[in-house]
Amino acid sequence: MLIKKPSDIKPSEITDQKHYKDRRKFIQAGLGLTGAAMVPGLWLPPAVQAAREKLAGVQKSQYSTKEKTTDYEDVTTYNNFYEFGTDKSDPAKYAHTLKTSPWTLTIEGEVAKPGKFHLEDIIKQSVLEERIYRFRCVEAWSMVIPWVGISLADIIKRFEPTSRAKFVEFTTLYDPKQMPGQKRRVLSWPYVEALRIDEAMNPLAIMAVGLYGEVLPNQSGAPMRLIVPWKYGFKNIKSIVKIRFTEKMPKTTWAAAGPREYGFYANVNPLVNHPRWSQARERVIGSGSIFTRRKKTIIYNGYGEQVAGLYSGMNLRKYF
């Protein structure tokens, strides 16, 4: 697959949700219970069945890919969100315990305007865009997801980072009562991720507050998560409650847990394998079949034209 320039996508190119739901009923009838259980998204747990809310005033974005989007049920039932369990189906089963409103975002560190801010106010003051992005997990699977988000650069500018701000650190909510997976020592909680500030200011980086034109489901990282489409999924931190601007590179959760396996940069790179599997190809998640196709992985997940300059002169094997 060639790297494409960003371009607008027509609303007609996104599969109507009624059509794929009708198709899903037909598939379930044909496969039977055993076959259906093998396909991600063919069952809808309570968290997905909850009321879904449309987002108003969403604009189309020039940065969207024209690739076919992954079905809503697959996107919302096949997740990594260890705060609710380590199985892919756990977040959809258990994330209903998370209360996402009201939600406060704390801004700290090297900024002129630190403080606590209501997410509702940030959304009201922002332009919401639909960004249809390729999403690539370090486990070598991928999706194409129509996120609804706010430019991360626009959010950052509001708080006026100082010249000492070289990195942006993000922290997930820590509340084991709401997030029962945090009772297990799978990782060091709370979850922390970070970007260099020039990465965070790239036009592709967004704070997602929705998908498929609707409010972001709990299991997908509600009410606000980071999306950096040229990096592996674990960099795309969920349920963010704090943003801190720092001069030194922060210690991030997965890089600390497994430094040989999870680098700070985590750029999608088919030439740098995970120690336990190849990154040269990826499994495309798509419901409607028990067979999953694979495709070649593209450097920077296909967004090289927009982001390669951020890493000019860097050894991408050393800084993985």
- pLDDT tens digits along 222-248: 999 999 999 999 999 999 999 999 999
pLDDT band at 64 (very low <50, low <70, confident <90, very high): very high
Region 10-18: what's the mean pLDDT?
44
pLDDT at 25 exceeding the cut of 50: no
Question: Which residue in this structure is represented by tokens 């090297």?
Answer: 110
The residue among 180 and 47 whose pLDDT is bigger is 180
pLDDT band at 290 (very low <50, low <70, confident <90, very high): low
pLDDT band at 47 (very low <50, low <70, confident <90, very high): low
Which sign, positive or negative, has the C-alpha torsion 52, 139, 66, 291? negative
User: On the CB side of 204, how many CA atoms lie within 13 Å of its CA?
Assistant: 26
pLDDT at 172 exceeding the cut of 60: yes
pLDDT in tens, 249-287: 999 999 999 999 999 999 999 999 999 999 999 999 985
Question: Which residue in this structure is represented by tokens 């009562």?
Answer: 177
How far apart are alpha carbons 256 and 263 in whole angstroms? 9
Give 114's contacts (C-beta < 8 A, 6+ positions apart). Answer: 107, 108, 159
What integer pLDDT is reported at residue 286 of this predicted model?
A: 86
First-to-final CA distance of the chain = 22
According to DSSP, the β-strands at 240-246 and 167-172 are antiparallel
For the entire predicted model, the pTM comes to 0.85
Domain at 23-311, CATH homologous superfamily: Oxidoreductase, molybdopterin-binding domain (3.90.420.10)
- C-alpha closest to that of 92 among 38, 41, 47: 47
Give how far Cα 204 sits from Cα of 54, 121, 164, 228, 287, Å: 23, 23, 23, 7, 27
pLDDT band at 28 (very low <50, low <70, confident <90, very high): very low
pLDDT at 85 exceeding the cut of 80: yes
User: On the CB side of 25, how many CA atoms lie within 13 Å of its CA?
Assistant: 5
How far apart are alpha carbons 188 and 296 in whole angstroms? 33
* Phi, psi torsion values for 218, nearest 5 degrees: -55, -45
Q: How many CB atoms lie within 10 A of CB 92?
A: 29
Residue ranges per structural domain of the chain: 23-311
